[in-house]
Amino acid sequence: ETFITPCFIMPFRSVTVVLKKDLLDVPFFGRILKRAGCVSVTRKNPKEDLRTVMEEGEKFLHAGRSILVFPQATRSIVFDSSRFNTIGIKLAKKAGVKVIPLALKTDFHGNGRFIKDFGPVKRKEPIKFRFGPLISVDGNGREAHTAVVEFITATLKEWNMPVVEDNNKINGNKGEDNSE
């Protein structure tokens, strides 16, 4: 997602990606990410990562760039809203901007054996993405976060992707039922 999604956005809008710092060390792609400008986080110190995203993200937003945040922490075939953090909402609130939810279907790309982010490619699986409506972040941002999660959940269900429901049952034809 970190490499592919900006390619869909950049022809229309300048975008900066929040990504894990380790990706900057990946041969070839790391150099591209550095030159494109990104916000890198370690995932080892949540407070420091939050500070980095808030400070650097706000600078990019005020410079007219969009920020692409992947708030599910790690790539997963199953969308679990309980693992979907609020960092994008917090950044939007601080910067005084709206959020645009983005649902992605990128299961064509598996996890790699040696480098997790570079695995086998299933060429017959389509890449799908859908942007939602602009969402204002008011108050503590809870309503905006809920609206983003609901948009993504509904879209992924429409695409028959596995989604963890509140009752811990996975819906979608690619998941397994883990409710028992």
Number of domains in the chain: 1
At 139 the pLDDT is 95
Taking the alpha carbons of 98, 137, 51, 48 in that order, is the dihedral positive or negative?
negative
At 60 the pLDDT is 95
Establish if 62 belongs to a structural domain: yes
Establish if 167 belongs to a structural domain: no
> Token pair for residue 60?
């990019």
Q: Are strands 102-105 and 128-131 parallel, antiparallel or unpaired?
A: antiparallel
| Radius of gyration, CA atoms only, the chain | 16
Establish if 80 belongs to a structural domain: yes
Identify which of 81, 73, 51 has the alpha carbon closest to the alpha carbon of residue 2: 73
Task: Give the CA angle between residues 32, 13, 75 to the nearest 5°.
Answer: 55
Query: What pTM does this model have?
Result: 0.78
CA distance 60 to 12: 16
Establish if 144 belongs to a structural domain: yes
Domain that holds residue 77: 5-160
Identify which of 36, 41, 43, 44 has the alpha carbon closest to the alpha carbon of residue 10: 36
CA distance 30 to 19: 11
- Per-residue pLDDT tens over the stretch 18-48: 988 988 988 888 888 888 889 999 989 989 9
Establish if 37 belongs to a structural domain: yes
Establish if 178 belongs to a structural domain: no
At 41 the pLDDT is 93
Q: What is the mean pLDDT of each run of 10 residues along the chain (180 residues)?
A: 56 78 86 86 91 96 91 74 90 97 76 58 75 96 96 94 70 44
Establish if 165 belongs to a structural domain: no
Establish if 168 belongs to a structural domain: no
Q: What share of the chain is helix, strand, coil (3-state, %, to 5)?
A: 35, 15, 45
Residue 152 exposed, middle or buried by CB count within 10 Å (0-12, 13-18, 19+): buried
At 145 the pLDDT is 96
